[in-house]
Amino acid sequence: MDTPTLILQAVVVTLSLLIPPLADGIERKVRAKIQFRVGPPTILQTFYDLRKLAVKELIVPKGAELTLTISSIALVTAVTATASTIWIVAQDVFTPANLALTVLLISGSHVLISLTSLTTSNPYAVVGSFRKILLQVVNEVGFFVGVLYSITALKNLTSDTSPQLITSYVISVALVVITTYVSSGRVPYDIHEAEPELASGVLIELSGPLLSIYSYTHILKKYLLSFITAYLILTPFTSLTNPAIKLAANVTFGLMIYLSYGFTAALLGRTRIDLSLKTLTTTTLIIISLLVILSWLSSY
Amino acid sequence: MVKQLLIKEGGETQTVKVLNRIKDLCGPHTSIEFIHDKTVKVSVKSECLRKVAEALQSEEDVYLRTMVASDEKLINDSIKLYYVFGLDREGVNVILEVKIPAALSKHYEIPSISDVVKACDWYELEAHDLMGVKFSGRFLKRLVLPDDWPEEIHPLKKDITTEEIKKLYQPQVREKALEVGAEEVALIPVGPYHPALHEPEYFELYIKEEKVVDARYVGFMVHRGIEKLGESMGYDQIPFLAERICGICGFVHSVSYTQAVEEALNIEVPEKTQYIRTIILELERIHSHLLWLGIAAHLLGYDTGFMYAWRIREKVMVLSELLTGSRKTYGINLVGGVRKDINKEKIEKTKQTLKEVWKDYKGFAEVLLNVPQVRRRLSGTGVLPGGEARAYSLVGPTARGSGLSRDVRKDYTYGAYHFVSFSIPTYSEGDNLARTLVRIDEVYESINIIEQLLDTIPSGSEIKVNSWEPQPMKLGLGNVEAPRGEVIHLVITGMYGPYRWRVRSPTYQNLQAVPTMLRGVDLADAPITIASIDPCFSCTDRAIKINIKTGKIERVPLIKLSVKGGS
Amino acid sequence: MVKFLKVLKASATVGTVTRRYPFESSLVTSEFRGLIEIDPVKCVGCGACVRICPPKALTIEVNEKETILKYFIGRCIFCWMCVQTCPQKAIKTTNKFELSVFNLKDVMRELVFRTVTCKVCGRAFTPVKLVVEINKRVGDLYMHTDIYVCPDCRQALTARRLLTKYLGRG
Ligand code: SF4
Ligand code: SF4
CA distance C80 to A3: 78
- The reply to whether ligand 2 has any atom less than 6 angstroms from the CB of C74 is no
Report the alpha-carbon distance of residue A201 to residue A191 in Å, rounded: 8
> Among residues B285, B339, B292, B336, which one has the least CA distance to residue B461?
B339
Domain membership of residue C103 (yes or no) is yes
- DSSP of A203-247: TTT--HHHHHHHHHHHHHHHHHHHHHHHHHHHGGG-----HHHHH
Which residues between 19 and 78 in chain C have a beta carbon less than 8 angstroms from any beta carbon of chain A?
A: 20
In this predicted structure, the answer to whether residue A182 has a pLDDT above a threshold of 50 is yes
Residue nearest to atom 8 of ligand 2 (CA): C53
- CA B161 / ligand 1 centre spacing (Å): 29
Asked if the structure places residue B30 within a domain, the reply is: yes
- Could you tell me which chain A residue has the CA closest to the CA of B562? A127
Provide DSSP, B168-234: H----HHHHHHHTTHHHHTTS--SS---SSSBS-EEEEEEETTEEEEEEEE--TT---HHHHHTTS-
Q: Which amino acid is present at A17?
A: L
Residue B476 CB neighbour total at 10 angstroms: 23
Residue B205 zone, left/alpha/beta (φ > 0; ψ -120 to 50; rest)? beta
Work out the minimum CA distance from B311 to partner chain C, whole angstroms.
8
Q: How many domains does the structure of chain C reveal?
A: 1
Q: Which of B363, B367, B290, B368 is nearest to C14 (CA)?
A: B363
Helices (H), B420-525: 432-456, 506-510, 514-518
Residue A198 has pLDDT above 60, yes or no: no
Q: What is the DSSP string of A153-186?
A: HHHHHTT---HHHHHHHHHHHHHHHHHHHHHTT-
Please give the residue that has the higher pLDDT: either B165 or C18: C18
Residues of B in contact with C53 (CB under 8 A): 237
Q: Report the C-alpha gap between B356 and B304 in whole angstroms.
A: 20
Mean pLDDT of B277-281: 96
Is residue B329 included in any domain, yes or no? yes
CATH number, position C53? 3.30.70.20
B42 is in an annotated binding site: no
- Quick one: average pLDDT of B464-468? 91
Residue B263 belongs to what H/E stretch?
A: helix B251-264
* Residues listed for chain C: 170
Q: Looking at the domain assignment, is residue C10 inside a domain?
A: no
Asked if residue B150 is part of any domain, the answer here is no
Say whether the peptide bond before residue C22 is cis (omega within 30 degrees of 0): yes
Put residue B86 in one of left, alpha, beta given phi > 0 → left and psi -120 to 50 → alpha.
beta
DSSP letter for C142, please.
S
Query: For residue B466, which amino acid is it?
Result: N
Chosen domain end from B114, B141, B168: B141
Residue B382 sits in the same domain as residue B491: yes
B vs C, Cβ pairs < 8 A, gives 70
How much helix, strand and coil, in percent to the nearest 5, is found in chain C?
A: 40, 20, 40
Q: How confident is the model at residue B4 (pLDDT cuts 50, 70, 90)?
A: very low
Based on the fold, state whether residues B252 and B128 are members of the same structural domain. no
The residue of A30, A31, A35, A260 whose CB has the most chain C CBs within 10 angstroms, and thus the best one to mutate to test that interface, is A35
Return d(Cα A268, Cα B371) in angstroms, integer. Answer: 6
The 10s digit of each residue's pLDDT in B107-122 is: 889 999 988 888 888 8
The answer, yes or no, to whether any atom of ligand 1 lies below 6 A from the CB of C69, is: yes
Q: Is residue B277 part of a domain?
A: yes
Model confidence over B388-447: pLDDT tens digits? 888 888 889 999 999 998 899 999 999 999 999 999 999 999 999 999 999 999 999 999
Indicate the residue of A34, A36, A267 with minimum beta-carbon distance to C17.
A36
Identify residues of C whose CB sits under 8 angstroms from chain B CBs: 1-4, 6-7, 9-10, 14, 17, 27-33, 52-55, 77-81, 84
Residue B100 sits in which domain range? 2-141
Owning domain of residue C163: 29-167
* B329 alpha carbon, closest ligand: 2
**What is the pairing mode between strands C91-93 and C36-38?**
antiparallel
Q: Which residues of B touch A35 (CB under 8 A)?
A: 303-304, 307-308
Note whether residue C45 is domain-resident. yes
Chain A closest CA to C1's CA: distance in Å?
Answer: 12
Phi and psi (nearest 5°) for B48? Answer: -100, 10
Higher pLDDT, B282 or A195: B282
Instruction: Give chain B's mean pLDDT.
Output: 82
Distance from CA of C18 to the nearest CA of A (A): 5
Would you place residue B553 in the very low, low, confident or very high pLDDT band (cuts 50, 70, 90)?
very low
Determine, yes or no, domain membership for C127. yes
**How many angstroms separate the CA atoms of B60 and B8, rounded?**
20
Give yes or no: residues B128 and B233 share one domain. no
CATH of the domain at B30: 3.30.460.80
Asked, for residue B545, whether it belongs to a domain, the answer is no
CA angle B278–B284–B287, rounded 5-degree value:
145
Separation of CA C150 and ligand 1 centre (Å): 19
Question: Is C24 a member of any domain?
Answer: no
Q: Following CA atoms B353, B356, B362, B363 in sequence, which dihedral angle do they give, to the nearest 10 degrees?
A: -140
Tell whether the model's pLDDT for residue B562 goes beyond 50.
no
Locate the ligand 1 atom nearest the alpha carbon of residue C60 and give its number. 5
Interface residue ranges in chain A relative to chain C, Cβ cutoff 8 Å: 32-38, 267
A60 falls in which pLDDT band (50, 70, 90)?
Answer: confident
Q: State percent of chain B over pLDDT 70.
A: 83
What is the predicted pLDDT for the residue at A298?
74
- Contacts for B523 with CB less than 8 Å, ≥ 6 apart: A197, A198, A199, B205, B207, B210, B211, B212, B543, B565
Classify residue C20: in a domain, yes or no.
no
Q: What part of B 365-394 touches C (C-beta under 8 Å)?
A: 366-368, 370-372
Chain C residues in contact with B240 by the CB 8 A cut-off are 54-55, 77, 79, 81
- DSSP label of B150: P
* Model pLDDT for residues A141-170, shown as the tens digit of each residue: 999 999 999 988 888 888 878 888 889 999
Asked which of B93, B124, B141 is the last residue of a domain, the reply is B141
- Band the pLDDT of B555: cuts 50, 70, 90: very low
Percentage helix, strand, coil for chain A under 3-state DSSP, each rounded to 5: 80, 0, 20
Q: Give tens-digit pLDDT for C121-165.
A: 888 888 888 888 888 887 766 566 677 888 888 888 888 888 888
How far apart are alpha carbons A188 and A268 in whole angstroms?
6
Residues in chain B: 567
Those residues whose C-beta lies under 8 Å from the C-beta of residue B534, and which sit 6 or more positions away, are B288, B292, B396, B397, B398, B439, B483, B484, B507
Q: How far is the CA of B409 from the centre of ligand 1 (A)?
A: 42
- Other residues' Cβ atoms within 10 Å of the Cβ of residue A86: 23
Chains that touch C (3 or more CB pairs under 8 A): A, B
The whole-number pLDDT of residue B145 equals 79
**Count of structural domains, chain B:** 2
Instruction: Say if residue B124 is in the same domain as residue B209.
Output: no
Q: Which residues of A touch B529 (CB under 8 A)?
A: none
Question: Model confidence at B189, in pLDDT bands (50, 70, 90)?
Answer: very low
Nearest to C30 by CA among B283, B325, B339: B325
Q: Which stretch of B141-155, B290-304, C67-81 has the lowest confidence by average pLDDT? A: B141-155
Three-class SS of residue B349? helix
Does the Cβ of C111 fall within 6 Å of ligand 1?
no
Longest dimension (CA), chain C: 100
Q: How confident is the model at residue B532 (pLDDT cuts 50, 70, 90)?
A: confident
* Lowest-pLDDT range of A96-100, B238-242, B246-250, C77-81: B246-250
Residue B192 in this model has a pLDDT that exceeds 50: no
pLDDT tens-digit series, residues C11-66: 999 999 988 888 888 878 889 999 999 999 999 999 999 999 999 999 999 888 88
Neighbours of chain B (3+ CB pairs under 8 A): A, C
Could you tell me if the CB of C72 is within 6 A of ligand 2?
A: no
Look at residue B218 in the predicted model and tell me its pLDDT. 62
Ligand closest to the CA atom of residue B241? 2
Cα separations in angstroms, B566 against A127, A158, A211, A272: 12, 42, 28, 10
A126 CB neighbours in chain B (<8 A) are 558-559, 562
Q: Does residue C130 lie in a domain region?
A: yes
Over residues C84-128, the pLDDT tens digits come to 999 999 999 999 888 889 998 889 999 999 988 888 888 888 888
Give the containing element (helix H, strand E) for B503: strand B498-504
Is C11 contained in some domain? no
Q: Given this model, what pLDDT does residue B219 score?
A: 59
Instruction: Say yes or no for a CB contact (<8 Å) between B565 and A266.
Output: no
In angstroms, the CA A181 to CA A174 distance is 11
Which atom of ligand 1 has the smallest separation from the CA of C47? Answer: 5
Instruction: Name residues whose C-beta falls within 8 Å of residue B8's C-beta, 6 or more positions apart in sequence.
Output: none
B227 is an annotated ligand-binding site residue:
yes
Contact yes or no for C7 and A34 at CB 8 A: yes
Q: Tell me: the pLDDT tens digits for B17-74?
A: 899 999 999 888 888 999 988 899 999 998 889 999 999 988 888 889 999 999 998 8
Express each pLDDT in A23-34 by its tens digit: 999 999 999 999
Residues in chain A: 300
Interval B154-166 mean pLDDT: 83
